[in-house]
């Protein structure tokens, strides 16, 4: 059982991950869970027990994930991180993973505070948001979704731990997406950041919640059966044949137009709204293994002789460059 505080949003995200993995029918041995340090990073201990896992150094999960993915790209990778692990100590690692378009689902359990060290503001705390003792935050927040868009990422979504109907299909879409899928999940800290004046409390999130684009995941073999209003439904085909049906809740929002999406997100921020849904997707971008023209057979399953052909071959290679 989870040892996080009772009522922690992270447990709901765990629940959503379990449900998504169940619905996608992912065998445990085909999945790898990675995390860094923090309350969020403890959670892989509470789901998919028989899967592969690595709990890395603070903020260094993207590097470990990159190595694992390079060695065996055939697994489904899910990284669970927090706002501190991603946006403070791990910011450098995070941004380069976005650039690399590493093929994984990267979940940020974002609560605006450092819960493990008793509730100091994190880099995602909004301007003016109040700490438990009443101090207001003075520094502007980093919005991971804007970072992803600015750095040319291929998948940016935002959701809320208290809305599994939105979150579960997003997780499924993120797992099926080829490339670096970031979901920024507002996940309230029930102990240090659920009071009045906080902009990451359950109440505040629900009051300012603004779903813009709903994404339904449709598995490869299945027809799109649900009825959508014409014009508002937009199917996006993923590389494995599955589809995401994007349903516009905001008429003017276009999740395939990078600059328009960035504008909308910034506008919502100015308006004090928490805009959620699949905010941007680009299925055409090559992911890390393609960029590096890696073999389709995972390195992990290649014979040692093939991976390391011996000194003679090395000499021959070096001779070519002389």
Name residues whose C-beta falls within 8 Å of residue 264's C-beta, 6 or more positions apart in sequence. Answer: 212, 250, 252, 253, 275, 279
38: left (phi over 0), alpha (psi -120 to 50) or beta: left
Is residue 103 within 8 Å of residue 287, measured between CB atoms? Answer: yes
Phi, psi of 33 (to 5 degrees): -110, 130
Least separation in angstroms between residue 301's CB and another protein is 36
Rg (CA), the chain: 20
Least separation in angstroms between residue 121's CB and another protein is 21
The helix (H) or strand (E) run that includes residue 313 is helix 311-321
Least separation in angstroms between residue 141's CB and another protein is 23
The nearer residue to another protein, 2 or 256, going by C-beta atoms, is: 2
Least separation in angstroms between residue 4's CB and another protein is 9
The nearer residue to another protein, 11 or 83, going by C-beta atoms, is: 11
Estimate the crossing angle of helix 164-176 against helix 9-24, to 10 degrees: 50
The nearer residue to another protein, 22 or 291, going by C-beta atoms, is: 22
Least separation in angstroms between residue 162's CB and another protein is 6
The nearer residue to another protein, 59 or 82, going by C-beta atoms, is: 82
Tell me the longest C-alpha to C-alpha distance in the chain. Answer: 69
The nearer residue to another protein, 60 or 164, going by C-beta atoms, is: 164
Which residues bind to another protein, rule: CB under 8 A? 1-2, 5-9, 11-12, 14-15, 161-162, 164, 188, 190, 194, 202-203, 206
């Amino acid at each position: 059982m989870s040892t996080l505080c009772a009522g922690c949003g992270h447990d709901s995200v765990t629940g959503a991950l379990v449900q998504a993995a169940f619905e996608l029918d992912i065998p445990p041995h085909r999945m790898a869970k990675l995390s860094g340090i923090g309350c969020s990073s403890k959670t892989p201990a509470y789901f998919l027990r028989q899967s592969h896992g690595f709990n890395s150094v603070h903020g260094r999960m993207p590097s470990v994930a990159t190595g694992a993915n390079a060695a065996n790209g055939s697994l489904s990778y899910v990284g669970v991180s927090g706002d501190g692990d991603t946006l403070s100590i791990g910011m450098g690692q995070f941004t380069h993973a976005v650039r690399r378009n590493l093929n994984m689902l990267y979940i940020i359990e974002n609560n605006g505070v450092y819960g493990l060290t008793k509730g100091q503001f994190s880099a995602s705390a909004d301007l003016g948001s109040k700490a438990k003792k009443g101090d207001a935050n003075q520094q502007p927040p980093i919005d991971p979704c804007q970072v992803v868009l600015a750095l040319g990422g291929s998948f940016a979504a935002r959701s809320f731990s208290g809305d599994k109907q939105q979150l579960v299909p997003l997780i499924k879409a993120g797992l099926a997406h080829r490339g670096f899928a970031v979901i920024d999940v507002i996940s309230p800290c029930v102990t240090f950041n659920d009071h009045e004046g906080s902009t990451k409390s359950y109440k505040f999130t629900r009051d300012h919640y603004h779903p813009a684009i709903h994404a339904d995941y449709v598995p490869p073999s299945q027809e799109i059966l649900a009825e959508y209003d014409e014009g508002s439904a937009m199917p996006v085909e993923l590389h494995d044949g599955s589809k995401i049906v994007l349903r516009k809740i905001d008429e003017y929002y276009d999740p395939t137009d990078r600059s328009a999406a960035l504008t909308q997100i910034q506008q919502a921020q100015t308006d004090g709204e928490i805009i959620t849904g699949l905010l941007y997707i680009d299925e055409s971008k090559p992911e890390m293994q393609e960029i590096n023209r890696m073999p389709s057979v995972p390195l992990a399953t290649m014979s040692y002789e093939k991976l390391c052909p011996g000194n003679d071959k090395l000499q021959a290679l070096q001779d070519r460059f002389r």
